[in-house]
């Protein structure tokens, strides 16, 4: 049995539009449980889900931005982290 900190079980790859639902869910799992103001500021509703999906899609489609997804490959593929940032200026 591999330990959770065994990095060989994780895959880092560019995020795709198909990853957006997992990224939205990761956002809620990461921030809504630890910061009580988020559910008040942006309650989880279909329109807020759509807003987050559009924000992630914008980052994925922006050629100056790099969006990555970390996938835990064991026991099955599951997104565990997402991040994006601007590419350095030439």
Mean pLDDT of 9-17: 87
Q: pTM, whole model, 2 decimals?
A: 0.76
Tokens found for residue 33: 């449980």
Residue-level pLDDT at 39: 82
Q: What is the pLDDT of residues 55-64, one digit of tens each?
A: 999 989 988 8
Tokens found for residue 80: 């565990």
Phi, psi (deg, nearest 5) at residue 3: -85, 150
Residue-level pLDDT at 41: 84
Most confident option among 15-19, 31-35, 75-79, 85-89: 15-19
Mean pLDDT, rounded, of the chain: 81
- The residue written with tokens 């990761």 in the block is 26
Contact 16, 80 (CB under 8 A): no
Most confident option among 36-45, 53-62, 66-75: 53-62
């Amino acid at each position: 049995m591999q330990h959770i900190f065994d990095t060989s079980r994780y895959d880092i790859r560019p995020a795709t539009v198909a990853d957006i639902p997992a990224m939205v869910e990761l956002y809620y799992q990461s921030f809504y449980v630890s910061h009580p103001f988020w559910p008040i500021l942006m309650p989880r509703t279909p329109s807020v889900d759509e807003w987050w999906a559009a924000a992630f899609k914008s980052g994925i489609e922006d050629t100056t931005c790099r969006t990555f997804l970390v996938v835990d490959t064991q026991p099955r593929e599951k997104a565990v982290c997402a991040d994006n940032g601007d590419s350095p200026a030439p």
